[in-house]
Amino acid sequence: MKREPPQSIADYGPLFFPAGMLLIFFVVPFGTMIAVSFFQRQEGGFYTPAFVFSNYERFLTAFFGGVLGFSLMLAVTVAICCVVLALPFTYLLSRLTRRLQVIWLVGLLSVLSLSEVIIGFAWSTLLSRTAGLSNLLVKIGLLEQPVALFPSFGAVLTGMVYQALPYTILVLYPAIVRLDPTLMEAARTLGSSPIRAFFNVLVPALRNTIMATLIMVFIFALGSYLLPQILGRPQHWTLSVLITDQAIYQSNMPFAAAMAVFLVLVTLGLVALTLLIGRKGEKA
Amino acid sequence: MDTFLKTSVSRRTVLGAGVLGAAVLAMPNILRAQDKSLKVGVYGGYFKDSFDKNIFPEFTKATGIAIESVAEPTGEAWLVQLEQAAKAGAAPADVSMMSQVAMLKGQTTKLWTPLDLAKIPNSKNLIDRFVNKYPDGSIAGIGAVSWYITLVTNTDVYKEAPTSWAAFWDKANADKLGLLALVSNSFLLEVTAKTFFGSTNALDTEEGLLKAFDKLAEVKPNVRLWYRDEAQFEQSLKSGEIPMGQYYHDVTGLAASEGHPVRSTFPKEGGVQDSGCWALSRASKKVDEAHIFIDYMSQPAIQATLSRKVGTSPTVKRELLDLSDKEFAAVSSDIEPIIPRYDLYTTKSDWLNQKWTELIVG
């Protein structure tokens, strides 16, 4: 079937609905946020429309730079952990029978039905001194006495990876299932070990998918604000936690908006950079 | 029967009735005003449940005004929502229970409809500091309930109750404390000032505040959890995971009465007394109902019921209440309370918040 390029405005019709939705639910709110980020904060009150840079000035300090840096580092770590875990898992999953695959996928989807609050509290119980996993280790004799494994960076990372892993698998799954099985067979016939074939054939063949998945998980993890609060110490709080504090508890909308705009810009910048590097790599 | 049939209905009457009927249908406001109701915002969870069970049904019985209770989040989230809604002319709740800091912030945008004390005769029962006034003297809010933040401990871990807030600074309590995460709801600066510098007047100057921050920094190694969400700490306190901290006296007492190994202690420096006001959103049209409600809630008998059933400390004078000494001691204390420096949270809020965040995050 040959695709005709659109001739009249009516041919663009199907695009109007998504474009409208994007306008109403993304462009307008984001525009409002940018506008508010320049408003004048009224201490002890709300804000008045103005055009000032003081909200951005307040953000540009070593303190907030550190928090931003930690948030980005945390999101990158979560993304890498998720992909490293999900890639072999999804590959093995794709080689199971249809029936087993469905059971696994339903199980993974059910994790998505858990709210962040439930995930946070469940992990805080699992990692607690009084009722947590370390009690099992004591029973087996590996530990002298139970220890608290939270709040800590490891706990935050564990909670966030747990939350993002189902998404990662669901994004990787279609690409891996569609992958030509003869590629791996050829590698095997040519004498490659299964692990070698996995790294030398499967991973390069899926390079774009892996990149896209990393970016998706990174952005997903960047917005997390509940798990770092429940499972981490204050030094593990992400920028999103501080944005929430400003918006909800300090009613300082202009400063919260400025931080959010900054976070979005940095994120977009990093994504663009990643894509650029990826494209250069392809050309080479 | 005959007389009924003979009763003539004049053309005029029919027309009149028709016009009236049409008018009623065209103006649903009249119909709505007749079935009287009021939307009241109270803190969600235990507080709202207690009010729904013990207070609101009696109020409806006494006044004929139906109450629709709205669960409001703690902190200032509700203030932001009320303010945004009022800008759009809507009121998610007519009357809300608001914290003192939120009351002051709402005052700056005239969010609260000034109340008429002539319509609230029971307001004379209140302790003076529980009447919240605009700078021009008009009434922004009327004290609803007050509550204490005290020193709480797990009784399994601490056999002896601590007697002073200084226990937070004790090196023996490393990694054992749960404290509130925000400067404006933990009131730890006031606690520090009262415990180590004599009184909260030490916070009058910026040097005094910085000194309090420095002293407070010494607590950091002892803190395991800085909590925003009450459930987060309450659970850990009950299990002994985090065996000491600051928490609400009423809820701790309730947990203890349910058999959990927790206790709430009024330290010798005093518990922190915070309070909530009833305030009327300027977007609300139910001004009369709101006054009736606030007047009803200010009766000594109702305040006593609140103390017995909800565990809050009364906002009316002690001598007007029929609470026994034991009942009073359960919700309050004769030790002079630490009253938060609400003024600081409006005049210096951003500076305090920045210093505080750097203190606990940095």
Domain membership of residue A38 (yes or no) is: no
Does the beta carbon of B214 lie under 8 angstroms from any beta carbon of chain A? Answer: no
pLDDT at A193 over 90: no
Q: What is the pLDDT of residue B6?
A: 46
Q: Compute the Cα dihedral for B85, B91, B97, B103 and give only its sign.
A: positive
DSSP letters for B58-118? HHHHHH--EEEEEEE-STTHHHHHHHHHHHTT--S-SEEEEEHHHHHHHHHTT-BPPB-GG
Per-residue pLDDT reduced to its tens digit, B240-259: 999 999 999 988 988 898 89
- Answer for the pair B238, B260: CB distance below 8 angstroms, yes or no: yes
A128, A133, A223, B130 from A139: Cα distances, Å: 15, 10, 38, 55
Q: Any idea what the Cα angle at residue B71 is, between residues B65 and B76, rounded to 5°?
A: 120
Q: What is the pLDDT of residue B5?
A: 44
pLDDT at B26 over 60: no
Alpha carbons A121 and B227: distance in angstroms, whole number: 13
> What is the helix, strand, coil percentage profile of chain A, to 5?
75, 0, 25
Does the beta carbon of A115 lie under 8 angstroms from any beta carbon of chain B? Answer: no
Chain B closest CA to A39's CA: distance in Å? 15
CB contact under 8 A, A251 and B239: no
- Using only the alpha carbons of chain B, give its radius of gyration: 25
Q: What is the pLDDT of residue A28?
A: 92
Exposure string over B256-292, b if 16+ CB within 10 A, otherwise e: beeebbbbbbbbebbbbbbbbbbbbbbbbebeebbbb
Which among B109, B353, B361 is the nearest to A45, CB-wise? B109
Helix (H) or strand (E) holding A6: none
Q: What is the pLDDT of residue B251?
A: 86
Which among B105, B181, B225 is the nearest to A251, CB-wise? B105
Per-residue pLDDT reduced to its tens digit, A12-60: 878 888 889 989 988 999 999 999 999 988 876 778 888 888 889 888 8
Which pair of structure tokens corresponds to residue B252?
């701790």
For strand B131-133 and strand B66-72, is the pairing parallel, antiparallel, or unpaired?
unpaired
CATH of B36-146+274-331, one of 3.40.640.10, 3.40.190.10, 2.40.50.140, 3.30.465.10: 3.40.190.10
- Answer for the pair B184, B349: CB distance below 8 angstroms, yes or no: yes
Q: Compute the Cα dihedral for A253, A255, A259, A264 and give only its sign.
A: positive
pLDDT at B214 over 90: yes
Alpha carbons A14 and A8: distance in angstroms, whole number: 12
Does the beta carbon of A237 lie under 8 angstroms from any beta carbon of chain B? Answer: yes
CB contact under 8 A, A128 and B109: no
Alpha carbons B34 and A210: distance in angstroms, whole number: 64
Q: What dihedral angle (degrees, nearest 10) is formed by the CA atoms of B296, B297, B298, B299?
A: 60
A36, A40, A118 from A59: Cα distances, Å: 15, 15, 32
Q: Which residues contact B305 (CB under 8 A, 6 or more apart)?
A: B54, B55
**DSSP SS3 for A206:** coil
Domain with A129 in it:
62-283
Structural domains in chain A (count): 1
CB contact under 8 A, B361 and A247: no
Alpha carbons B322 and B309: distance in angstroms, whole number: 14
Looking only at Cα atoms, what is the longest distance across chain B? Answer: 97
A161, A246, A257 from A229: Cα distances, Å: 15, 15, 20
Helix (H) or strand (E) holding B279: strand B272-280
pLDDT at A6 over 80: no
Q: How many of the other CB atoms lie within 10 Å of CB of A235? A: 14
Chain B closest CA to A245's CA: distance in Å? 9
Q: Any idea what the Cα angle at residue A105 is, between residues A101 and A107, rounded to 5°?
A: 120
Q: What is the pLDDT of residue B17?
A: 56
Distance from the first to the final alpha carbon of chain B: 90
Alpha carbons A153 and A234: distance in angstroms, whole number: 10
CB contact under 8 A, B108 and A46: yes
Residue A8 identity (one-letter amino acid): S
Residue A63 identity (one-letter amino acid): F
* Average of per-residue pLDDT values in chain A: 88
pLDDT at B16 over 60: no
**What is the crossing angle of helices A62-94 and A253-283, to 10°?**
50
Alpha carbons A109 and A131: distance in angstroms, whole number: 27
Domain membership of residue A11 (yes or no) is: no
CB contact under 8 A, A43 and B362: no
Pick the closest to residue B246 from B179, B338, B333 (CA basis): B179
**DSSP SS3 for A71:** helix
Q: How many of the other CB atoms lie within 10 Å of CB of A123? A: 23
**Average pLDDT for B270-284:** 94
Q: How many of the other CB atoms lie within 10 Å of CB of B97? A: 24
**Average pLDDT for B105-113:** 90
**Average pLDDT for B116-129:** 92
Domain membership of residue A20 (yes or no) is: no
Q: Any idea what the Cα angle at residue B220 is, between residues A153 and A150, rounded to 5°?
A: 30
Q: Any idea what the Cα angle at residue A109 is, between residues A107 and A115, rounded to 5°?
A: 110
pLDDT class of B218 with cuts at 50, 70, 90: very high
Which pair of structure tokens corresponds to residue B52?
């729904």
Q: What percent of chain B has pLDDT over 70?
A: 90
ipTM over 0.95: no
CB contact under 8 A, A46 and B350: no
- Answer for the pair B337, B147: CB distance below 8 angstroms, yes or no: no
CB contact under 8 A, A130 and B109: no
Pick the closest to residue A106 from A116, A117, A119, A93 (CA basis): A93
Alpha carbons B176 and B223: distance in angstroms, whole number: 6
**DSSP SS3 for A42:** coil
pLDDT at A169 over 90: yes
| DSSP state letter for B174 | T
B43: β partners: B72
**Average pLDDT for B44-69:** 90
Does the beta carbon of A59 lie under 8 angstroms from any beta carbon of chain B? Answer: no
Which pair of structure tokens corresponds to residue A230?
């429940």
Question: Would you kindly state where each structural domain of chain B is located, as residue ranges?
Answer: 36-146+274-331, 149-272+338-361
Q: How many of the other CB atoms lie within 10 Å of CB of B173? A: 21
Per-residue pLDDT reduced to its tens digit, B169-191: 999 999 999 999 988 889 999 99
For strand A47-48 and strand A40-41, is the pairing parallel, antiparallel, or unpaired?
antiparallel
B149-272+338-361: CATH architecture:
3-Layer(aba) Sandwich (3.40)
Rounded to two decimals, what is the model's pTM? 0.82
Task: Check if B36-146+274-331 and B149-272+338-361 are the same fold.
Answer: yes
B247: β partners: B150
CB contact under 8 A, A234 and B181: yes
**CATH number where A180 lies:** 1.10.3720.10
Domain membership of residue A200 (yes or no) is: yes
- Answer for the pair A91, A104: CB distance below 8 angstroms, yes or no: no
Question: Choosing among B357, B358, B359, B360, which should be mutated to test the A contact, i.e. which has the most A CBs within 10 A?
Answer: B357
Does the beta carbon of A149 lie under 8 angstroms from any beta carbon of chain B? Answer: no
Per-residue pLDDT reduced to its tens digit, B134-159: 999 999 999 999 999 999 999 999 99
B150: β partners: B247
Which among B226, B232, B241 is the nearest to A130, CB-wise? B241
pLDDT at B308 over 60: yes
Domain membership of residue A169 (yes or no) is: yes
Residue B179 identity (one-letter amino acid): L
